[in-house]
Amino acid sequence: MTKTILGLSGSLRRASFNAGLLRAAAELVPEGTKIEIGSIREVPLYDGDLEKASGLPPAVKTLQSQLQAADGVLLVTPEYNNGIPGVFKNTIDWMSRGPGLQMWVGKPVAVIGASPGGFGTIMAQNHWLPVLRTLKAEFWAEGRLMVPRAGDLFDEDGNLADPASRDRLAAFIGGFAEVI
């Protein structure tokens, strides 16, 4: 039986380093595992009035359906001002609404990220911990992957081109796939 990981990039930019890191992860999964790449692009800003009047937006329902079907989740996070990107946190907030909160409980989640800075996404990854705790997700802490100085490791189309980084990513994804 194939294991499915829902992969989400926290950047809206098509050629972002994190979208490229997620695409590379999807290419490097071990046999018997697949990454289904979800999209946060159409998720509106959370608005309780909108939710009350119209229910969950279609993009959120799609993500919740993908979450429900997934054996695990891979959050590929940029780091903005030493923290979680607002657009990414907003998506997870929407996904936890209605039936979504129960979908997170016990779900294995791994967090990785790429950044042009020298420290990778260490602060953003740490900021995800209280969120994942609140969701009662099962944070996979046996591996850690940050890709610093991403501008030197990705090509002009945003694809991860560095062989050493691809090897580290393959090992990380392989380790995560083993536990789900």
Backbone CA torsion sign across 7, 12, 15, 21: negative
Distance CA 136, CA 41 (A): 25
Where residue 56 sits, what CATH number does that domain have?
A: 3.40.50.360
Is the pTM higher than 0.85? Answer: yes
Domain count for the chain: 1
Q: At what angle do helices 163-179 and 17-28 cross, to 10 degrees?
A: 60
User: Please, which residues have CB within 8 angstroms of residue 126's CB and are 6 or more apart in sequence?
Assistant: none
How many other C-beta atoms are found inside a 10 Å radius of the C-beta of residue 31? 7
Q: Which domain holds residue 9?
A: 3-179
| Cβ pair 125, 10 in contact under 8 A | no
Question: What's the pLDDT tens digit per position in 106-157?
Answer: 999 999 999 999 989 999 999 999 999 999 999 999 989 999 999 999 998 8
Two tokens at 59?
């993009």
